[in-house]
Chain A
Amino acid sequence: MNLEYTDEQLAFRQEVRAFLEAELPESLSAKVKSGKTLNKSDIEQWHAILNKQGWLAGNWPKAYGGAGWNAVQRHLFEEEMTGASAPRILPFGLAMLGPVLQEFGSAEQQEYYLPKVLNGEHWWCQGYSEPGAGSDLASLKTRAEREGDHYIVNGQKTWTTLGQHANMIFCLVRTAKEGKPQEGISFLLIDMNSEGVSVRPIVLIDGEPEVNEVFFDNVKVPVANRVGEENKGWTYAKYLLTHERTNIAGVGFAVAGLESLKRIARTEQSKGRPLIENPYFAAQIARIEIDLMAMSTTNLRVISKAAAGQAPGAESSMLKVKGSEIRQAINALTRSAIGSYAMPFVSEELEPGSNALPVVPDYAASVTGAYFNNRKLSIYGGSNEIQRSIISKALLEL
Chain B
Amino acid sequence: MNFDLTDERQMLQDSLRKYLADHYSNEVIRALAKSDCGYSKENWAGLAELGVVGALFSEEDGGYGGAGFDMALVFEELGRVGATDPLVDTAVLCGGILAALGHGEQKNLVESIIEGSLQMALAHAEPQSRYELSRVDTRVEREGEDFVLNGQKCVVVNASAADYLIVSARSEGAVAATAGISLFLVPTDTAGLTLNDYPLSAGGRAAEVQLDNVRLGAASLLGKQGDAFDTLELVHARATVAVCAEALGLMETIRALTTDYLKVRKQFGRPIGKFQVLQHRMADILIEIEQARSAVINLAGHVDGERDAREKHVSATKNLIGLVGKLVAEESIQMHGGIGMTEEYELGHLAKRLIMVDHRLGDATFHLERFVELAVA
Contact A359 B208 (CB under 8 A): yes
Given the complex, which residues of A lie within 8 Å of B268, measured CB to CB?
135-136, 139
Decide yes or no: A134 and B154 within 8 Å by CB, A202-B344, A205-B352, A269-B130 being known contacts. no
Decide yes or no: A343 and B200 within 8 Å by CB, A203-B344, A204-B342, A359-B208 being known contacts. yes
Cα(A379)–Cα(B342), bound, Å: 13
Given the complex, which residues of B lie within 8 Å of A158, measured CB to CB?
338
Q: How large is the interface on B (under 10, 10 to 19, 20 to 34, 35 or more residues)?
A: 35 or more
Contact B132 A271 (CB under 8 A): yes
Cα(A135)–Cα(B270), bound, Å: 12
Given the complex, which residues of B lie within 8 Å of A269, measured CB to CB?
128, 130
Give the nearest-CB partner of B157 in chain A.
A343
* Distance of A164 from chain B, by nearest CB (Å): 15
* Distance of B212 from chain A, by nearest CB (Å): 14
Contact A340 B359 (CB under 8 A): yes
* Distance of A156 from chain B, by nearest CB (Å): 13
Contact B267 A139 (CB under 8 A): yes
Contact B130 A270 (CB under 8 A): yes
Kindly specify which of B162-170, B217-225, B363-371 makes contact with the partner chain. Answer: B363-371
B351 at the interface (CB under 8 A from A): yes
* Distance of B315 from chain A, by nearest CB (Å): 12
Contact with B along A359-371 (1 / 0, CB 8 A): 1010000001101
Kindly specify which of A105-113, A144-152, A276-284 makes contact with the partner chain. Answer: A276-284
Given the complex, which residues of A lie within 8 Å of B360, measured CB to CB?
340, 343
Q: How large is the interface on A (under 10, 10 to 19, 20 to 34, 35 or more residues)?
A: 35 or more
Contact A159 B338 (CB under 8 A): yes
A340-379 CB contacts (< 8 Å) to partner B: 340-347, 350, 357, 359, 361, 368-369, 371-372, 375-376, 378-379
Given the complex, which residues of B lie within 8 Å of A202, measured CB to CB?
342-344
A268 at the interface (CB under 8 A from B): yes
Given the complex, which residues of B lie within 8 Å of A275, measured CB to CB?
130
A175 at the interface (CB under 8 A from B): no
* Distance of B136 from chain A, by nearest CB (Å): 12
Decide yes or no: A344 and B206 within 8 Å by CB, A204-B343, A336-B363 being known contacts. yes
Contact B176 A271 (CB under 8 A): yes
Contact A205 B334 (CB under 8 A): no
Contact B341 A379 (CB under 8 A): yes
Contact with A along B186-208 (1 / 0, CB 8 A): 00000000001011111000101
A385 at the interface (CB under 8 A from B): yes
Cα(A368)–Cα(B199), bound, Å: 13
Decide yes or no: A345 and B201 within 8 Å by CB, A134-B267, A205-B348, A271-B176 being known contacts. yes
Can you list 19 A-B pairs with a CB-CB distance of less than 8 A? A139-B269, A158-B338, A205-B341, A207-B343, A270-B132, A271-B132, A272-B176, A280-B365, A280-B369, A332-B326, A340-B154, A341-B155, A343-B200, A344-B206, A345-B199, A347-B199, A369-B201, A378-B334, A383-B334
- The residues of B with any CB-CB pair to A shorter than 8 Å are 125, 127-128, 130-132, 135, 154-155, 157, 175-176, 196, 198-202, 206, 208, 266-269, 275, 277-278, 326, 330, 333-334, 337-338, 340-344, 348, 351-352, 355-356, 358-360, 363-365, 368-369
- The residues of A with any CB-CB pair to B shorter than 8 Å are 129, 132, 134-136, 139, 158-159, 202-205, 207, 211, 268-272, 275, 278, 280-281, 284, 328, 332, 335-336, 339-347, 350, 357, 359, 361, 368-369, 371-372, 375-376, 378-380, 383-385, 388
